[in-house]
Amino acid sequence: MVVFYRRMPRFEYLKPQRFEDVLELLADGTPNRYRVFAGGTDLMDQLKQRKIDVPETVIDLKGLAELDFIDFDKSSGLRIGALTTVTDVANSPEIDQHYSALAQGAREIASIQIQNRATITGNICNAVSSADSAPPLLALGAEVVCATGKGERSIKIEDFFTGPGETVLQPDELVKEIKLPPPTKGSNSVYLKLAPRGRMDLAWIGVAVWAEISAGKFTEVRIGLGAAAPTPIRTPKAEAALRGAEVSQKNIEAAAALASGEAKPRENSFRAGGEYRHMMVEVLVKRALTQLAG
């Protein structure tokens, strides 16, 4: 059966004003009873296309004004509330200065119209491998703070994604904020997106690199890849190879080759084939590291 839907399926709408109220609703546990959303740019589209199970009630989180914040402190780091929009992240001077890859990634997420509604938290909760915020968050060492009625936990971003469209979040769990460690001396980061039409395309490959350079050596490096595997991934081998290594074109190229080997792209996608994507991981990692090496 094929029907090209123009209308939303039927559901109820709730907009609680308190965080605890949302947790209480989610504690219900009945499958497809509730579905939360912030900006709704992914959820509304998926519902319209009947790509996901239709919940009885959608819960609009925008009543929880306290979750819309960007909080930066040089010693404790950065906190981004679950309701903070992509626009606000893209325009934040602190993020631009200390977490460049994230600001760059945010600017690459679709149109201004989408960025004005979508949230960074929603971008990762939707858990597509090409999400432009995921590689920067991986490279920057982010943690996702989640809550249930029973308490909170903090999840490392590399443990957050479990498969295409899937995360470790439990049905009764709600993301509260994303935390990033404080900037360290000599560190910088960059995000490079490969797509024919730039921001409006889903990334064919997204590469974020965070590197700390001291006395001509890479002291610490983290690399995040998007659209290079079923989920956004880190590249431990390439990172290990660079740790303590001299900043040189040779080392950069060797690490880029390793990162390419760590990618596991789909062999056949209508966007591009596996061989091409492997090659592009290498090109982009090389370019990102070269940029950071300055």
Partner 1 sequence: MSDQPAKIGDNWPNLIGKRLPRVDAVEKVNGDAKYAGDFNMAGQLWMKILRSPHAHAKIISIDASKALDMPGVKAVVTAEDFKGWSWGWGPQTRDETPLAEGKVRYFAEAVAAVAAEDEETAEEACALIDVVYEELPGIFDAEEAMQDGAPQVHDYVENNQSWDFHMDYGDVEKGFAEADLVREDRFETGRTLTGFLEPPAAVAQYDTAGITIYAAKQSPYFIYRQLASCFKLPLSKVRVIQPYVGGGFGGTKNDSTAGDFCAVMLAKKTKRPVKFVYNMEEVLTTCRRRHNMIVDCKMGMKKDGTITAVQTKVIADGGAYTAIGPLTMYLTGIMTTLPYKLDNYKHDAYRIFTNHPVSAAMRGHGVTHTRFAAEIQMEKMADELGIDPVEVRMKNAIEAPHETINGITVDTCGLKEGLEIVSSSTAWKDKDKNKKDGPVVRGVGISGTSHLGGARQRGHQSCAAIVRLCEDGTVNYLTGASDAGQGSDTVLVQLVAEELGLTMEDVTIQRVDTAVTPVDNGSYGSRVTILAGQAAQKAAQEVKRQLAEAAAKVWQVDAEKILFNDRTVFVDGDPDKSMPFRKLTQIACYSESGAVIMGKGYSEYGIEKMDFEKGYGNPGVNYSFTSQLSAVDVDLETGMVKAKDFLIAHDCGRPLHPVNVEAQTQGAASQGLGQALYENFKMHEGRTMNSTMVNYMMPLSTEHPDFELHDIITDDPHGPFGAKEASEGSIISTPPSIVSAIHDATGIWFTKLPVTPEKIVLALKEKKERENAQKKESE
Partner 2 sequence: MDKITCNFVVNGSAEEVSFPPNRTLLHMLREDLLFHGVREGCSHGECGSCNVILDGKLVNACLILAAEADGLEILTVEGMADGEDLHPIQQAFVDESGMQCGACTTGMILSTKNLLDANPDPSREEIKDALAGNFCRCTGYAKIFESVEAAAETMKGGQQ
Interface residues toward partner 2, by CB under 8 A: 6-13, 15, 40-41, 44-45, 48, 58, 60, 62, 87, 110-114, 116-117, 198-200
What dihedral do alpha carbons 241, 246, 251, 256 form, nearest 10°? 60
Q: Which one of residues 20, 28, 49, 182 is an interface residue with partner 1 (CB under 8 A)?
A: 49
Q: Which does 100 bind (CB under 5 to 8 A by kind): partner 1, partner 2, none?
A: none
Residue 187 tokens read as 């560190």
Residue 36 tokens read as 């939360």
Q: Which stretches of 108-235 are DSSP H helices?
A: 112-117, 120-125, 134-139, 157-160
Of the pair 9, 29, the CB lying nearest partner 2 is at 9
Burial of 217 (0-12, 13-18, 19+ CB in 10 A): middle
Q: How far is the CB of 53 from partner 1 (least distance, A)?
A: 15
Of the pair 53, 152, the CB lying nearest partner 1 is at 53
Pick the stretch among 31-39, 61-69, 192-200, 206-214 that binds partner 1 (CB under 8 A): 192-200
Strands (E), 217-290: 217-226, 233-234
Q: Is 197 in the site for partner 1 (CB under 8 A)?
A: yes
Sign of CA dihedral 207, 41, 70, 146: negative
Pick the stretch among 14-22, 141-149, 254-262, 267-275 that binds partner 1 (CB under 8 A): 267-275
Of the pair 6, 185, the CB lying nearest partner 1 is at 6
Task: Assess contact for 230 and 163: CB atoms under 8 A.
Answer: yes
Q: Is 280 in the site for partner 1 (CB under 8 A)?
A: yes
Q: How far is the CB of 199 from partner 1 (least distance, A)?
A: 8
What backbone torsions phi and psi does residue 42 show, to the nearest 5 degrees?
-85, -45
Q: Which one of residues 266, 283, 290, 291 is an interface residue with partner 1 (CB under 8 A)?
A: 283
Strands (E), 92-215: 143-148, 151-156, 161-163, 166-167, 174-180, 187-194, 205-214
Q: Is 44 in the site for partner 1 (CB under 8 A)?
A: no
Binding to partner 1 (CB under 8 A) within 6-35 occurs at 6-8, 10
CA gap 169, 177 in Å, rounded: 13
Q: How far is the CB of 2 from partner 1 (least distance, A)?
A: 4
Pick the stretch among 90-98, 122-130, 195-203, 222-230 that binds partner 1 (CB under 8 A): 195-203
> Up-side HSE of residue 254: CA atoms within 13 Å toward CB?
13
CA gap 283, 118 in Å, rounded: 30
Q: Which does 11 bind (CB under 5 to 8 A by kind): partner 1, partner 2, none?
A: partner 2
The contact set with partner 1 (CB under 8 A) reads: 1-8, 10, 49, 194, 196-202, 204, 270-273, 275-276, 279-280, 283-284
